Homo-oligomer: A and B are copies of this chain.
Amino acid sequence: KRNYAITLLPGDGIGPEVTTVAKNVLDLVGSLEGIEFNFREMLLGGAALDVTGVPLPDETLSVAKQSDAILLGAIGGYKWDKNEKHLKPETGLLQLREGLKVFANLRPAIVFPQLMDASTLKREIVEGVDLMVVRELTGGIYFGKPRGFGTDENGEETGYNTEIYAAYEIDRIVRFAFEIARKRHGKLCSVDKANVLEASMLWRRRVIAIAQEYPDIELSHMYVDNASMQLVRYPKQFDTIVTNNIFGDILSDEAAMITGSIGMLPSASVGSSGPGLFEPIHGSAPDIAGQDKANPFATVLSAAMLLKYGLGEDKAAERIEKAVLDTLNRGFRTADIYSAGTKLVGCKQMGEEIMKSV
């Protein structure tokens, strides 16, 4: 029997509800595939702040590092919104990404045929959209130094951050993206702002250099402002997108919303060694927390990404993906994706339905 240690980070808001569902699905799939999961639940975000006073306790990071993969629910909430920076739930997440060195963030944006009408875009525009945003996750303006507050020559207060990339940071994420593109449809679009920013000029130069190693991949470059338009105009033109941390933050959310199924989309964050971090792209939805209304699909699909990209358990991953589609086909919907003629269920019952489909 294969045995894996999984760190569970339920976090805040709806995080615990959706994580419970995903854990149960993993257990069931494991029992069918001869895999044993040892789950260990740790504190992160607001939940950690309330108990330990910091958003990422040392113990959470060290347990996570020693495990085989990490499944995260969601973090954040009104309660901690006014906290100082080092006491924000978000800071805990950023420290976790940095601590795990998970530089590659995979964010698929897929339109589920069953949910196509949930998109605000026309059917012919979104039908068949299946793109992957590969976002650099541990560099750029999120982590660049110097950063902080200062005073300019006129005594005016300033706030500043540094967008910085070193060649090796670009090379590794770009290679990663080329490999992903190769497993998908062989097209990679690199998004930058090389007509204005030096950090982007280096980015583009490195992309062009690395492309020599991937003559089979069709490479294009796009400015970020244009990319934000093209996602709306004709999302099907994209296969794999690679971009920096901040542009990836913006564009992957835009792409997710275009699918109309934000409650359905998972993400994976991986490094060159060590465990990966898997989480839904949606937030902690404090307004519906604890009401059994949350959509657990995105977290369940994050568990599938954990199996595939984290543990190499492709067969188990496919079982989960199929179960999700089957549950959708059987008409079950949480409130966020409900439409007339389908069956409205809560988070818990959805979990049970998914397990029936496994």
Beta-carbon contact of B233 and A254 below 8 Å = no
Q: How far is the CA of A222 from the CA of B20 in the complex (A)?
A: 30
CB-defined A-B contacts under 8 Å, sample of 9:
A120-B233, A141-B141, A156-B166, A156-B168, A157-B166, A161-B162, A229-B253, A232-B258, A247-B250
Beta-carbon contact of A200 and B159 below 8 Å = yes
A125 at the binding interface (Cβ < 8 Å): yes
A219 at the binding interface (Cβ < 8 Å): no
Q: How far is the CA of A166 from the CA of B159 in the complex (A)?
A: 7
A335 at the binding interface (Cβ < 8 Å): no
A33 at the binding interface (Cβ < 8 Å): no
A35 at the binding interface (Cβ < 8 Å): no
Contacts of A168 in B (CB 8 A): 154, 156
CB distance from A187 to the nearest CB of B (A): 20
Beta-carbon contact of A167 and B157 below 8 Å = yes
CB distance from A117 to the nearest CB of B (A): 9
Binding site for B on A (CB under 8 A): 76, 85, 88, 90, 94, 120-122, 125, 141-142, 144, 147-149, 152, 154, 156-168, 193, 195-203, 224-226, 228-234, 246-247, 249-254, 256-258, 262
Q: Do A94 and B196 form a contact, CB below 8 Å, given A162-B160, A253-B225?
A: yes
Q: How far is the CA of A246 from the CA of B249 in the complex (A)?
A: 14
Q: Write the chain B residue with the least CB distance to A117.
A: B122
Beta-carbon contact of B166 and A163 below 8 Å = no
Beta-carbon contact of B233 and A253 below 8 Å = no
Contacts of A203 in B (CB 8 A): 159
CB distance from A167 to the nearest CB of B (A): 5
Beta-carbon contact of B202 and A228 below 8 Å = no
Q: How far is the CA of A256 from the CA of B229 in the complex (A)?
A: 8
Q: How far is the CA of A86 from the CA of B146 in the complex (A)?
A: 26
Question: Which 6 A-B residue pairs are closest in the complex by CB-CB distance?
Answer: A159-B202, A229-B257, A160-B164, A228-B254, A156-B166, A159-B199
Contacts of A229 in B (CB 8 A): 253-254, 256-257, 262
Q: Do A158 and B162 form a contact, CB below 8 Å, given A85-B201, A250-B225, A254-B228?
A: no
Residue from A94, A162, A232, A253 with most neighbouring chain B CB atoms (10 Å): A232
Contacts of A198 in B (CB 8 A): 85, 147-149, 159-161
Contacts of A142 in B (CB 8 A): 196
Contacts of A247 in B (CB 8 A): 250
Q: Do A249 and B232 form a contact, CB below 8 Å, given A122-B122, A159-B165, A161-B197?
A: no
Q: How far is the CA of A142 from the CA of B224 in the complex (A)?
A: 14
Contacts of A141 in B (CB 8 A): 141, 163, 197
Contacts of A163 in B (CB 8 A): 141, 160-163
| CB < 8 Å neighbour of A249 from B90, B164, B225, B249 | B225
Residue from A120, A226, A256 with most neighbouring chain B CB atoms (10 Å): A120
Q: How far is the CA of A165 from the CA of B148 in the complex (A)?
A: 11
Residue from A200, A234, A246 with most neighbouring chain B CB atoms (10 Å): A246
Beta-carbon contact of A202 and B121 below 8 Å = no
Q: Write the chain B residue with the least CB distance to A205.
A: B159
Q: How far is the CA of A229 from the CA of B246 in the complex (A)?
A: 15
CB distance from A258 to the nearest CB of B (A): 6
Q: Write the chain B residue with the least CB distance to A198.
A: B159
CB distance from A55 to the nearest CB of B (A): 12
Q: Do A199 and B122 form a contact, CB below 8 Å, given A166-B156, A246-B193, A257-B233?
A: no
